[in-house]
Amino acid sequence: WPPLLQLQTDQENQSTTILESQSQHPKNELAACDLSQGKWVFDNVTRPLYKEQECTFLTAQVTCIRNGREDTLYQNWRWQPNHCSLPTFEARKLLEKLRGKKMLFVGDSVNRNQWESLICLLQTTVQPGKATWKMGAPLSVYFVQEYNATVEFYWAPFLVESNSDDPRNHSISQRIINPHSISKHGIHWKDADFLVFNSYIWWMNGRNIKVLRSGSPEYDEIERPIAYERVLTTWANWLKHNINHSRTSAFFITMSPVHQQSSNWNKPEGAACASETDPISNTSTPLDMGTDRRLLKITKNVIKTTGVAVGLVDITTLSEYRKDGHTSVYTIRQGKLLTPEQKADPATYADCLHWCLPGVPDTWNELLYAHIISSSSSS
């Protein structure tokens, strides 16, 4: 892994570097490139891709500047893959692909975080008053009138049915899943033209997961990887038999890391991700953020063995470097902004799971965009 590079302040060098990094690549070259391997480059010319205050659809959970965060450098980092460059995100081009269609994000609040990011990216080219936005439960909808296009989010943190499926009342300590029951959720996914799934953080409460026995109200406690494989197999088989893959493209977003232990980046005296203003710069040794990478291996194996057509969007390692990008104490808790007393206790109250916007999820959507334009037709 090469070290993080900061662009030179010399304007000529800076402009040259940015132009080179954003050059377009042929589709076959992009498809052959590992977008997950690279470095974060400081870029205050082309980043951020939008301004927080200009994206009126953002929720208070992710508007860190509005919520009191004073540093803004977390908005100025661009992901640079090692052997190619990400194509420039063109909102109008994506909206043309979405014309008369529906993109649906399915998963947990981190997936909702990415959904909000994509709305902001698209909004940069939508005329004021020409789009509507409605937060609902379990479905939230963004609609662009000019393109008759919808970008939606559906709450299903385990993908299959669970006792945590109520978006407004899911703080349940004893989480129980039904690993073979997905049709109740899936009925809402069938008519989507683009499906974007994730499922990770809700699996991380403990080593074991409570799993209902088939046809019984009783459950067994099963090790996380075993339960995850059962669920992903159910999900993949559902996709295989219920989606018209000549029309619908499906993607799976890999694990978004948590930066709860500052000792993981050699700062044992730190308070989780609070007060972090730069990415991790030491890339000479592999990171260990506590991410359960066994689940990524399982996801890859399930996709391969079932033969389902799903594009894997690997955001994990690039996100692990971004300890600076979380909402930390500049967010809401139980629907309310943190109080000054709570902000003063980041060890207890800092949110090191969700991400400020603009920020890291914008890069996830740049990767998703690259997958879409490299795998779809040019029409």
Q: What is the CATH number of the domain that holds 273?
A: 3.40.50.1110
Residue 7 has pLDDT above 70, yes or no: no
Give 379's pLDDT tier (boundaries 50, 70, 90): very low
58 inside domain:
yes
Chain-centre distance for alpha carbon 162: 21
Q: Which of 16-25, 26-35, 359-368 has the lowest mean pLDDT?
A: 16-25
pLDDT at 14: 39
369 inside domain:
yes
Q: Count of domains in the chain?
A: 1
pLDDT top residue among 8 and 214: 214
pLDDT in tens, 224-253: 999 999 999 999 999 999 999 899 999 999
28 inside domain:
no
- Alpha helices, H only, the chain: 11-21, 27-32, 91-97, 109-123, 183-186, 224-242, 294-306, 316-320, 340-343, 346-349, 360-375
- pTM given for the model: 0.91
282 inside domain:
yes
CA distance 6 to 123: 29
13 inside domain:
no
Full 3-state SS string of 162-176: ECCCCCCCCCCCCCE
The size of the chain, in residues, is 379
Give backbone dihedrals phi and psi of 275, rounded to 5 degrees, phi first: 70, 10
Residues 328 and 352: beta-carbon distance below 8 Å:
yes
Residue 23 has pLDDT above 90, yes or no: no
Nearest Cα to Cα of residue 275 among 330, 334, 210, 348: 330
Question: What token pair was written down for 379?
Answer: 């029409």
Residue 305 has pLDDT above 80, yes or no: yes
pLDDT at 28: 56
Q: Which of 27-41, 174-188, 298-312 has the lowest mean pLDDT?
A: 27-41
> Residue 229 — left, alpha, or beta (φ > 0 → left; ψ -120 to 50 → alpha)?
alpha
Mean pLDDT confidence for 195-205: 96
Question: What token pair was written down for 322?
Answer: 């971004």
Give 375's pLDDT tier (boundaries 50, 70, 90): confident
pLDDT at 157: 96
The residues with which 311 forms a beta bridge, in sequence order, are: 251
Q: Which of 26-35, 59-68, 287-296 has the lowest mean pLDDT?
A: 26-35
Q: Which of 12-26, 39-53, 131-145, 334-348 has the lowest mean pLDDT?
A: 12-26
- Percent of the chain whose pLDDT exceeds 70: 90
pLDDT at 22: 44
Mean pLDDT confidence for 192-215: 95
187 inside domain:
yes
pLDDT at 1: 32
Nearest Cα to Cα of residue 196 among 313, 104, 315: 104
Mean pLDDT confidence for 172-189: 94
Domain range for 142 is: 37-375
Let me know if 122 is exposed, middle or buried by CB neighbors in 10 A (0-12, 13-18, 19+).
buried
25 inside domain:
no
> Mean pLDDT in the chain?
90
302 inside domain:
yes
Give 114's pLDDT tier (boundaries 50, 70, 90): very high
Residues with a known catalytic role = 109, 351, 354
Give 167's pLDDT tier (boundaries 50, 70, 90): confident
